[in-house]
Amino acid sequence: MASLPKDEYLSPEEYLAIERKAEVKSEYVDGVMYLMPGAMPRHNLIVGNLITELNIRLRTIDCTVYPSDLKVRTPDSRAFFYPDVSVVCGEIELAEGANDVVLNPVLVVEVLSDSTAAFDRGKKFQLYQQIESLKEFVLVAQDEMTVETFLRQAAGKWLYSKTRGEDASVALASLNFQIPLRDIYRKVL
């Protein structure tokens, strides 16, 4: 992840002011803005398929699916991310004075890219874990039919699961349903 040049610490308020005027998206961690790379067609197809499948399954449930244009904030304001997909159940909680910063996702999905995979698995997941409402974190590979899930357990533990192959279905326990991988990867692989 490439950081934007800045010689000094950038406050969350400064980041939001800059970000709301910017033509490209940047995420924020510990006072530094990180320019988000543009997504490739494969990435966008996977995200579109996920949003479609989630919307179909959640249409009668009080949960809403959001694409990557909505920021998710950690409770301490140390980080602002644009997850590829996020799901909020019940009423959406927005940061005070902001209509573009969500505080209460139940599920967050990141589609892995070569340039972001290590960050998504490491620091980003570590920061997402601070969000009390977050029950499940999902990583989706682009180059093979593989979906990894991390499900929140008691005492701050996370249960890891990997699902692979065209005939497999990934269980999204936080939402109480499964999605066949062939539907996530439709027209991709």
Report the distance separating Cα 69 and Cα 52, nearest Å: 16
The pLDDT, as a whole number, for residue 8 is 75
Look at the pTM and tell me if it is higher than 0.85: yes
Residue 129's pLDDT band (boundaries 50, 70, 90)? Answer: very high
The label of the residue with tokens 């990583």 reads: 139
The pLDDT, as a whole number, for residue 6 is 52
HSE (side-chain half, CA atoms, 13 Å) at 46: 25
Residue 2's pLDDT band (boundaries 50, 70, 90)? Answer: low
The pLDDT, as a whole number, for residue 75 is 94
Segment 108-116 mean pLDDT: 94
CATH superfamily for domain 39-184: tt1808, chain A (3.90.1570.10)
To the nearest 5 percent, what fractions of the chain are helix, strand and coil? 25, 30, 45
Count of positions (residues) in the chain: 189
Report the distance separating Cα 57 and Cα 179, nearest Å: 9
Domains of the chain, by residue range, sit at: 39-184
Question: In 3D, which of 57, 81, 52 has the Cα closest to residue 69?
Answer: 81
- Tell me what the pLDDT averaged over the chain comes to: 94
Residue 70's pLDDT band (boundaries 50, 70, 90)? Answer: very high
Point out which residues pair with 71 in neighbouring strands: 101
Neighbours of 1 (CB within 10 A): 17
Segment 161-177 mean pLDDT: 98
Residue 7's pLDDT band (boundaries 50, 70, 90)? Answer: low
The pLDDT, as a whole number, for residue 34 is 93
Q: Tell whether the model's pLDDT for residue 80 goes beyond 80.
A: yes
Neighbours of 182 (CB within 10 A): 16
Residue 39's pLDDT band (boundaries 50, 70, 90)? Answer: confident
Report the distance separating Cα 181 and Cα 146, nearest Å: 8
Segment 164-180 mean pLDDT: 98
Residue 105's pLDDT band (boundaries 50, 70, 90)? Answer: very high
Q: Which residues contact 15 (CB under 8 A, 6 or more apart)?
A: 26, 28, 33, 80
